[in-house]
Amino acid sequence: MEYISSKNIFLLLRDTLKLIDRRPMDHGSRTGYLFCKMLECKGGYEQYEIADFLMLATLHDIGAYKTDRMGDRLTYEFKEPMPHSSYGFLFLKNITPLESMARMVLYHRVPCTKIPRDDFQYAAETEILSLAEAAEVYHLALGEGFDHTMFRRQEGTFYSTEALDLLDAAVERFDVFSHLNDESYQNELDEILEYMIFTNEDKKKFIQTIMFCIGFRSETSLVDAVTSVCVSRLLSKKLNLAPGNEEKVYYASLIHDIGMLSIPASIIDSPKKLTKEEFELVKTHVSREEKILLNRMDSEVVAIATAHHERLDGSGYPKGLTDKRLSREQCILQLSDVATALTCVRPYRETYTKDEVIEILSEEAASGRLNKQITDCFIESYDEIISQASKEAAEALDIYKALGKKFKSVYGDSKNRNN
């Protein structure tokens, strides 16, 4: 069953990252528009290939989410581009289905004369992406004073003649900068997105990518996400859910906390108890998440994901649903979310012991807040489930730490190569 279209995979990933900071994604969309129009002028591409390049171009600055300079674009794009380029390359290569195109991100801010040719399939497209990005940045910064021919001063040194000619052609044929000014370019992007084609495996990997994006906030957030996914999956199996329902719970668990990316890190990582106002702000993460998911993902998956803070007695949020309006699948994710909170470290406390967790969950079930059958199932298999969840969380952390080690290696090599 298709739970989400290829187009909506793109929109979901883009808009999830916007919750952290919208600037890299807005820049990516505008750069992607220029890039695609330049490719159309070049010719020789199928529509689905253009759509793939749009995906890559939109995400080309994803590494900026691991820097401390997102508000200083001119620095991270032009003065010190290799840190975010290197991390973005590694993230796309190791986490997403875009591994074959990831090197474009590594080289997108190096001179055209230093982009490798012999073993790099997308060398020409990388030259074009480099110019498209520079044109977007300066067009936005200079406003009416922008002149796209300004880049001719670096012809043959930083920007290739072919890329410069294609930018001229895109201006002449599509009036691209006028479309950026009045934002009509977004309608053209929407048309390109209709040609996106991802396999079911690619879609699943992209949704897993969204979960990994939670790790941009902190490693603790990633551990929480992986733990909740694992607990939900194992409970679904032990409760003998039908395969289709089991898969819905799995997808819902992957994206159920993406709304937390919109909450300031100072609140999420606060070492003290939240104030009433702070807690009310935290509660808005569900509605923000629902806004992104609605009409993009299967409605039943969305209903499961956005009910993870509801409780059977109606005391949960945001809708105060009761047991008569809550499905078994929703109750599984609710239990998983609570169990994750109790068994994972928080800034203001250590994890609870096994006995403490069991006592708390038992009380919640006895008071009619959590489903008793699901709670009992978790308690009966506590050691098995928590052991597996800990293992999978550790594996996810290993991936992140490996990216960090590779980042230092690749950044060092790239820095030396481009000096």
SS3 category, 127: helix
Give residue 414's pLDDT.
44
Residues of the chain with pLDDT under 70: 67-81, 347-348, 410-419
The DSSP secondary-structure symbol of 367 reads T
Each domain of the chain, given as residue ranges in start order, spans 18-197+401-417, 200-380
Give residue 417's pLDDT.
40
Residues in contact with 164: Cβ distance below 8 Å, sequence separation at least 6, in sequence order: 131, 151, 152, 155
φ, ψ for residue 65, nearest 5 deg: -70, -10
The CATH number of the structural domain formed by 200-380 is 1.10.3210.10
Global pTM value: 0.90
**What DSSP string runs through 73-95?**
HHIIIIIS-HHHHHHHHHHHHHH
Residues in contact with 247: Cβ distance below 8 Å, sequence separation at least 6, in sequence order: 1, 3
Of the candidates 373, 390, 388, 282, which has an alpha carbon nearest to the alpha carbon of residue 334? Answer: 373
CA 64 – CA 73 distance, rounded (Å): 9
CA 241 – CA 239 distance, rounded (Å): 6
